[in-house]
Amino acid sequence: MKLKGVIFDMDGVIVDTVPIHFAAWKRMFADYGVDFTFEDYKQKVDGIPRTDGAKAILTNLTDDELVEASDKKQRYFLDVIQGEEIPVYSSTIDLINQLKTKGIKVAVISSSKNAPSILKRINLYSDLDAIVSGHDIKKGKPNPEIFLMAAEKLKIKPEEAIVVEDAILGVEAAINAGMKCVAIDRYDNPKRLQKANVVVKDLSEIQIEDIIKLVEGDR
């Protein structure tokens, strides 16, 4: 089997927007009298569509009220991010460039509807072979829809792809899609991502040859 594509999650893998997302979630949940912790974020909200995230915490709201809550979270997020420089993980950009040099296709996925505009702002949008965002999907992680859709856009089989993720639900979605997974542990707790094939603190710790071997053998 030959590695033909690598699918990168965006938040926490390419861009360091997690603190901004958490602050927006915390502010929104506070409006509903909920003390939202970072542990809640990691376990229940990270990497899934906004409405699903709201529903995971605000279990007593109607569907319309959940939409209203998720829209409020979006406004709080945009309040912070618009006009500010978006922090980028340079090691991830380096790996993307290496993959492109070797003719391996690259896709970026995100449950966020903000993904296309963020990718354009960091000048990565036009370099990608496929993008799947919250505009495209109907089912959130751990459902594999977002990764299977990315593979379809890349015109490759799931077993020919590797996923790079930083969230628990993202790793589970990759597994459910039948894809190998490299997980990035940004919180100094690698056990939470132990279902992945490889766990690193940063992509600078892994060589492109090691990633290729996940699909092509010897590992």
CATH of the domain at 39: 1.10.150
Instruction: Please count the residues of the chain.
Output: 219
The pLDDT-based confidence of 63 (bands split at 50, 70, 90) is very high
pTM of this structure: 0.84
Asked whether the predicted pLDDT for residue 134 surpasses 80, the reply is yes
Given a cut of 60, is residue 218 above it in pLDDT?
no
Residue-averaged pLDDT of the chain: 94
Asked which of 44, 63, 81 is the last residue of a domain, the reply is: 81
How much is the average pLDDT of 104-112? 96
- Say if residue 177 is in the same domain as residue 212: yes
Rounded Cα distance, 156 and 148, in Å: 10
* Residue 110 and residue 207 in one domain: yes
Q: Judge whether 16 and 87 are in contact, CB under 8 Å.
A: yes
User: What pLDDT sits at residue 219?
Assistant: 43
Number of domains in the chain: 2
- CATH number of the domain to which 125 belongs: 3.40.50.1000
List the domain range (segments joined by +) for residue 152: 5-16+87-216
Domain co-membership, 191 together with 124: yes
Q: What's the rounded Cα separation, in Å, for the pair 89 and 62? A: 38
φ/ψ of residue 209, rounded to 5: -65, -35
Sign, Cα dihedral of 156, 162, 166, 170: positive
What is the spatial distance between Cα 169 and Cα 191, in angstroms, rounded to a whole number?
Answer: 14
Q: What is the pLDDT of residues 18-40, one digit of tens each?
A: 888 899 999 999 999 999 999 99
Burial 69-95 (b: 16+ CB within 10 A, else e): bbebbbebbeeebeeeeeebbeebbeb
d(CA 6, CA 177): 13
Q: Is residue 129 located within the same domain as residue 193?
A: yes
